[in-house]
Amino acid sequence: MFTISQFLDFSTPIKLVEPVGVRGPIFALAISPSTKFLASGGEHGVALWSLRDYSCIAAPLTSGLRGPTSSIVWLEREIGETLVYGTALGWLACWRQNSMEFKELCAHRMGHGYKIAGLAADAGTCRIASAARDGSIHVWTFDAEERLISVFSIGLDRITPICIAFKDNTTKDIFVFGIYEER
């Protein structure tokens, strides 16, 4: 039986990115599909780094104004890479890459403002799935003006979602992983 530690040396960690100006815990990390960018989310919003030279990239000024970042996902689109993040206050926001800058496309507050616990992206259909702590599941896509529009939503009774994923099939089913909670 093989273990990954037989092939990789984990004894000496290598610091690649110094989180300058970032304080507190990091709740979410995601690498862009092109592997050019790293995004982290924490108490003070989203921070971005270039993985080419490990430099900080300026984030839109709205980062951090909508509460702590709880989840992040990237979506590769024809017009550039899109970062989608959810917050502990129920906001879902999208940024698009424009050269080495990112601009906010849209922001949408979900339902009653419960924490967005999980996000998933399907590049083939440009859809985003979100799971909130109130049991709501949403699937989104972008309209011609690059705003999020709802494709599907449902509320789950007695389950608190903590993770969501698209199933790779023609119907684009979603998996929802959660914890049982008596309501």
Structure pTM? 0.85
Percent with pLDDT over 70 in the chain: 86
> What CATH number was assigned to the domain covering residues 25-180?
2.130.10.10
SS (H, E, C) the chain: CCCHHHCCCCCCCCCCCCCCCCCCCEEEEEECCCCCEEEEEECCEEEEEECCCCCEECCCCCCCCCCCEEEEEEEEECCEEEEEEEECCCEEEEEEEECCEEEEEEEEECCCCCCEEEEEEECCCCEEEEEECCCEEEEEEECCCCCEEEEEEEECCCEEEEEEEECCCCCCCEEEEEEECCC
Instruction: Name the residue ranges covered by the structural domains of the chain.
Output: 25-180
134 falls in which pLDDT band (50, 70, 90)?
A: very high
pLDDT tens across 1-46, in order? Answer: 455 555 556 677 666 666 555 668 899 999 999 999 999 999 989 9
Whether residue 176 is predicted with pLDDT greater than 90 in this model: the reply is yes
Q: Does position 141 have pLDDT exceeding 80, yes or no?
A: yes
